[in-house]
A and B are shown apart, each in its own frame.
Chain A
């Protein structure tokens, strides 16, 4: 037993050769050295900046920004503060990262499965897709989509339109915006209730199946519930919603919901690029499941669809999820390439314009890095938690 050895030998060897003592000592030295180094960096930076007459501190965050931003999800104009520009940029980054992750995942799973298709043409097309988009630098793709989206579109006055309510021009896509009136809360309450109901239903169906073997079409029923209940509430409360239509005025459309071409191009490029990597993750995941599993499932009399859903995918997910996590992290960080096409993300708005107007590089970059670190950690934590849940539970 190692512990016995330790206690026996500890009386003979001197303290400084004791393994536990040495391990602890080195840990302490390392921590102290790290803190000292960090302190040296910080104080030296501050001292140098002071000597050179560079303003320091975070006071600038409450100063008026004085510049406009193309798109903001919260109210903003040039009279708001630099602190506000930080939030505006952050939300824009989260928006494009969220959209990118959603579309990249959908497209990636589709292409990944397609590459394993028995249909020669489908499989080859998927291969070509992956090899093409994986090997072209993302920045080029972003520029390509930006100008490919912009160039063919007409100017605002010659907009393409659908039914005088949806307009498309080189300034963006304009659609009617739903505006909630009093009583819309009912619909939201109904939606939340329906989701809760669906969760309970699925659990009940699962338990019943384990106990009795009887299946219940919980998928269809819960879908119907989630769509039906809010609709019912909507009509019951007298359709409490009106539409804000875009109207051509002066140089461009006003009102309605606007999707700017920068957002469209960036989302397209990020999704298409990342989907190529996700597709490969999906393929490797599925291929990692031994063919014996499929044969065993068939031997038990399971249909191919059920086999895929209950046997192949759950095992493949264990391989896919860790790679998926990396791709989500990459996509989020890559969204900072937005500055090349003028999409107002955090790097463009805050680490760009705000940094330059205030000149406070150290503070602004520290905040920006903090944000990307935090976003990455949140994605990692969530995906690790999800991974744990999907891991093989050995009994």
Chain B
């Protein structure tokens, strides 16, 4: 699209003009302008979507809010840039955004050759298939010769090709820019199935006119660890985003939530909790932040469990169970290094 081309051009121009990123530059710039510029998806319920008043919600949006809370003690000092899968990396590379929590899969190529750093995993996902019920398909292996609606520029596109190649089957890919276009084409019958990360399939399914007409196949054909991304070369900023996520996971593990955090702050004697809330042992200034950065995240955004349940879990229209995303101590693989 012409508009897209201009965006990328602008990015190329910005890349050529800007000076090298210095360590610490991002936090200084963020403090100076007074908000975090956050790259999110163009509208994916549960991850990032705007309501009719333009208010963004979602698990990725809460990641932005957590970082804002850690820096400013205010979760709302965030501006959102909705980006398509195609635009996201250039936007981050060029400095158009400060961080990218946009259901982005952590892969070798992206981590090593794009000048980016993944800060952790805020959602463990895997690629699946959404198919029309009346097709009578029970497994992806029955889909030789089928056509698939896909979003351009995703790992999904590559996984699908790999899967069909290893299983010696043929397929027809129809790639669109946004997930909205993808689901519309699926609904119009252009393709037999829509393939994407499973969490997205549930999110897109509720956008269908008749959600009951389509089912999500049980197969998961790939690992999709989704997490926030930052530019390489600014360790301080890398630490802030990384530990904002870890603070939420640690809070869940320690049983600290937005509801009881004030009470804990006053009465808890558990040194783990006291360190998390910045009361003893650790210093916020190691990341250029106030000591109560952890407290602010939990108070203003919540712990990982609250964020999950509110946006994608049982308390949301998506109704996804914790599964892999349960804490390591509860049968899942969600795990954060200790704050000490």
Contacts and interface: CB of A to CB of B under 8 A. Distances in A.
Contacts of A340: 1, 176-177, 181
Contacts of B175: 70, 342, 344, 348, 352-353
Contacts of A356: 85-86, 89, 152-154
Interface stretch (A119-127, A247-255, A380-388): A247-255
Most buried by B among A47, A52, A353, A357: A52
B115 A355 contact: no
Given A53-B232, A70-B174, A340-B177, A361 B2 contact: no
A49 B15 contact: yes
Contact of A361 (B90, B110, B161, B181): B90
Interface string A14-49: 000000000000000000000000000110110111
Contacts of B149: 342
Interface in B1-33: 1-2, 4-5, 8-9, 11-12, 15-21
A357 B153 contact: yes
A69 B115 CA distance: 28
Interface in B149-184: 149, 152-154, 157-158, 160-162, 165, 171-177, 181, 184
B289 interface: no
Contacts of A344: 175
Interface stretch (A147-155, A188-196, A204-212, A313-321): A147-155
A68 B11 contact: no
Interface stretch (A107-115, A215-223, A233-241, A331-339): A331-339
A251 B146 contact: yes
Contacts of B152: 339, 348, 352-353, 356
A221 to B, nearest CB: 47
B326 interface: no
Nearest to B148: A68
Given A51-B20, A342-B176, A359 B232 contact: no
B143 interface: yes
B192 interface: yes
Given A68-B171, A170-B190, A359 B233 contact: no
Contacts of A54: 93, 113-115
Nearest to B175: A342
Interface in A348-375: 348, 351-353, 355-357, 359, 361-362, 365, 368-369
Contacts of B147: 171, 251-252
Contact of B177 (A66, A70, A339): A339
B15 A48 contact: yes
Contact of A48 (B20, B90, B145, B232): B20
Contacts of A66: 158, 161-162
Given A66-B161, A359-B113, A342 B143 contact: no
Contacts, number: 171
B146 A359 contact: no
Nearest to B162: A66
A250 B144 contact: yes
A261 interface: yes
A44 B19 CA distance: 8
Contacts of B154: 356
A49 B95 CA distance: 12
Report the contact-size class of chain A (Cβ under 8 Å from the partner): 35 or more
Contacts of B192: 251
Contacts of A41: 16-17
A254 B171 CA distance: 12
Nearest to B94: A361
Contacts of B171: 68
A361 B174 contact: no
Nearest to A261: B190
Given A151-B188, A355-B86, A356-B86, A52 B115 contact: yes
A347 interface: yes
Given A44-B17, A340-B1, A342-B185, A359 B114 contact: yes
A348 B176 CA distance: 8
Given A52-B115, A78-B165, A171-B190, A351 B8 contact: yes
A252 B158 contact: no
Contacts of B112: 53
B210 interface: no
Contacts of B21: 51-52
A263 to B, nearest CB: 12
A262 interface: yes
Given A52-B115, A150-B188, A361-B93, A68 B85 contact: no
A336 B158 CA distance: 23
Contacts of B4: 339, 347
A171 B175 CA distance: 14
Contacts of A353: 86, 152-153, 157, 175
Nearest to B117: A53
Nearest to A368: B5
A341 B175 CA distance: 8
A365 B17 CA distance: 17
Contacts of B153: 352-353, 355-357
A151 B152 CA distance: 23
Given A250-B146, A251-B146, A261-B190, A361 B8 contact: yes
Contacts of A52: 20-21, 93, 115, 231-233
A103 interface: no
B218 interface: no
Contacts of A250: 144-146
A129 interface: no
Interface string A141-172: 00000010011010100000000000000110
A55 interface: yes
Contacts of B211: none
A70 to B, nearest CB: 5
Interface string A98-109: 000000000000
10 contacts: A48-B18, A52-B231, A52-B232, A66-B158, A339-B1, A339-B176, A352-B153, A355-B153, A356-B86, A356-B153
Given A45-B15, A68-B157, A262-B174, 16 more contacts: A42-B16, A51-B21, A52-B231, A52-B232, A67-B158, A67-B173, A150-B189, A252-B145, A252-B172, A336-B1, A352-B86, A353-B153, A353-B175, A359-B89, A361-B8, A361-B90
Give 8 nearest A-B pairs by CB, closest first: A356-B153, A52-B115, A250-B145, A45-B16, A54-B115, A78-B161, A68-B173, A359-B114
